[in-house]
Amino acid sequence: LRLYQAIGDRSSEVDAALILTSLSHHEEGQPGLDGAVALLELAAYPQILAKEAYALLEATGCVKAAALVARAEQTVRVLETRGWDERRATHAARHGGPAGTIDCGIYRDENLQIIADPPDDLEQRCTFITIKKLVATALTLDRYRRDEKQRAALWPAESLDGDTDCIWVAEAISEIVSVARKIGPTPLSVLLTGETGTGKEMLARTIHRASDRAGKIMLPFNCTAVPRDMLESQLFGYRRGAFTGADTSFVGVIRSSEGGTLFLDEIADVPIDVQPKLLRFLETHEIHPLGEAHPIKVDVRVIAATNANLEQLVAQGRFREDLFYRLNVVQIRMPPLRERREEIPALVEHYIRRYGDQQRKGHITLSDEALEYLLLYAWPGNIRQLANEVNRMLAMAEPNATLTSSHLSAEIHATRRTTAATTAPESEMRVRLDQSLPEAVELLERMMVQSALDRSKGRIEEAARLLGISRKGLFLKRRRWGLPQVS
């Protein structure tokens, strides 16, 4: 994927190069408008990052550059200035420059430092945000505006038999999927860990599809879905007459997975008395169904998953150590959705399409305000909970509507009213009795601001929401105290 930056001054080059490198995208570009026009005439680029200084807005070359830029499938137009010219900024924000509508702006102070907040009266028209966030968001959403064939070629959505879809967007997930596809062709046992609803079964299917067993079945089996006293017979099978009520023979889920992959979910809930038999199967590739005189050879790969801490269960004597090591040849942790929030816009759009089609809702869109709520929420149920929330929102909406915050559940809606900034440890919260009240209040305020910056990993907008203040207010406080964005 190639991006081109048409930049207006040399100070922008370093920013764009670092940004595109961090986003794993290749950059080709020339400084200045003439170089931009020359390069655009030579090749058509699918993605263009057009950065234009105010001084270039009225340059005649912009007209020609605009025509060349228009050939791109997507263009992110960024307006940049040093100092502030309200008249020209307002005009550009409302009408765009010669190259078209401005997607965002960057305001630099006299020292060329990027200022995150513009004057309040322009905030609705021209959003001043960090360029990395803009480009990352634009590229992510662009992938899902394409038709299904192009979308699959760029960033395939793994499908779970039409039941649950997972969109691999976050950089951390892309790395995990890369590892999964590397170990797919091997016979190694894999243990997937992570919270409920993070996509462990989907990752298991990715491993299965990358293996030489891809043409065979992958059978998911939840170890908590059957009574504990029946788990052994469900796994290993039984012969007719093996016990009271066994009127017919049952091959069991292990033999049903012959030649393919068996996905054992919630492996931590396997009873301790069944674990030795499961261990023997993993070591010998043989099972001994109830009532059978001889063991039966099977060719099955096992991928196990759990949301529990197996090491802790081993220490407590509730899970066999030898079975743990047999399963834990390769361990992959699926991070929760709150650690990969960049996936939320793409996931929401995906589920709007999917459930919208099922409910025959027509063309449904999502408001920016509703998306902000979804981005702020912690999602303890992860992707599964997000999918259910979107499904519920669609059920409450009229056909061809725009989903707004009014369609959100009360639990999600409450996130805006909750002050999420955490308090510091008691030892840090103490103030001296000889301090004045303003001094004590300022100390507490500073600590809360730093805590919000830490929790939001330096993201000004999120930190401001946590504190319940404006972005501009947070910026002024941070500058007054000399606080870095990231602790």
Q: Are residues 132 and 267 in the same domain?
A: no
Residue appearing with tokens 């743990």: 324
Q: Are residues 221 and 107 in the same domain?
A: no
The boundaries of the domain holding residue 98 are 2-142
User: Does 188 map to a domain?
Assistant: yes
**Residue finishing a domain among 333, 368, 396:** 333
Asked if residue 226 lies in contact with residue 244, where contact means CB atoms within 8 angstroms, the answer is no
Residue appearing with tokens 């007459």: 241
- State residue 447's pLDDT score: 74
- State residue 49's pLDDT score: 53
Q: Are residues 467 and 321 in the same domain?
A: no
Q: Are residues 177 and 288 in the same domain?
A: yes
Q: Are residues 407 and 462 in the same domain?
A: no
User: Does 163 map to a domain?
Assistant: no
Q: Are residues 188 and 309 in the same domain?
A: yes
Q: Are residues 210 and 326 in the same domain?
A: yes
Q: Which CATH number covers residue 458?
A: 1.10.10
Say how many residues make up the chain. 487
- State residue 360's pLDDT score: 92
Q: Are residues 367 and 440 in the same domain?
A: no
Q: Which CATH number covers residue 329?
A: 3.40.50.300
Q: Are residues 315 and 179 in the same domain?
A: yes
Backbone angles phi, psi at 214, to 5 degrees: -60, -30
Residues 6+ apart with CB under 8 A from 312: none
**Residue finishing a domain among 333, 356, 386:** 333
* Distance between CA atoms of residues 233 and 246, nearest Å: 10
- State residue 450's pLDDT score: 78
DSSP states of 253-305 as a string? HHHHTTTSEEEEESGGGS-TTTHHHHHHHHHHSEE--BT-SS-EE---EEEEE
User: Does 162 map to a domain?
Assistant: no
- State residue 259's pLDDT score: 94
Strand partners, 79: 52, 105
Q: Are residues 67 and 31 in the same domain?
A: yes
Q: Which CATH number covers residue 409?
A: 1.10.8.60
- State residue 448's pLDDT score: 77
Q: Are residues 239 and 378 in the same domain?
A: no
Q: Are residues 121 and 138 in the same domain?
A: yes
User: Does 127 map to a domain?
Assistant: yes
Three-state secondary-structure class, residue 198: coil
User: Does 286 map to a domain?
Assistant: yes
- State residue 9's pLDDT score: 36
- State residue 280's pLDDT score: 95
DSSP, res 80: E
Residue 419 CA to its chain's centroid (Å): 24
Q: Which two tokens stand for residue 95?
A: 């009408």
Residues 387, 389, 392, 393, CA torsion sign: negative
- Per residue of the chain (487 residues), give pLDDT as tens: 233 333 333 333 334 443 344 344 444 555 455 555 565 555 555 555 554 443 333 344 455 555 555 555 555 555 554 444 444 444 444 444 433 344 444 444 444 444 444 434 333 333 333 344 444 444 444 443 443 333 333 333 333 333 334 455 556 677 888 899 899 999 999 999 999 999 899 899 999 999 999 989 999 999 998 888 889 989 998 888 887 777 888 889 999 999 999 999 999 999 999 999 999 999 999 999 888 888 999 999 999 999 999 999 999 999 999 999 999 999 999 998 888 877 888 889 889 988 999 999 999 999 888 887 888 788 889 999 999 999 999 999 999 999 999 999 988 877 655 433 333 333 333 444 445 556 656 666 777 787 788 777 777 888 888 877 877 778 777 777 766 654 4
- State residue 247's pLDDT score: 80
* Distance between CA atoms of residues 2 and 72, nearest Å: 11
Residue 127 CA to its chain's centroid (Å): 23
User: Does 421 map to a domain?
Assistant: no
Backbone angles phi, psi at 210, to 5 degrees: -85, -5
* Distance between CA atoms of residues 449 and 455, nearest Å: 10
User: Does 111 map to a domain?
Assistant: yes
- State residue 145's pLDDT score: 42
User: Does 156 map to a domain?
Assistant: no
pTM flag (> 0.95): no
Residues 6+ apart with CB under 8 A from 326: 189, 279, 282, 283
- State residue 82's pLDDT score: 46
**Residue finishing a domain among 298, 333, 368:** 333
Looking at the structure of the chain, the number of domains it has is 4
Q: Which two tokens stand for residue 38?
A: 């020359």
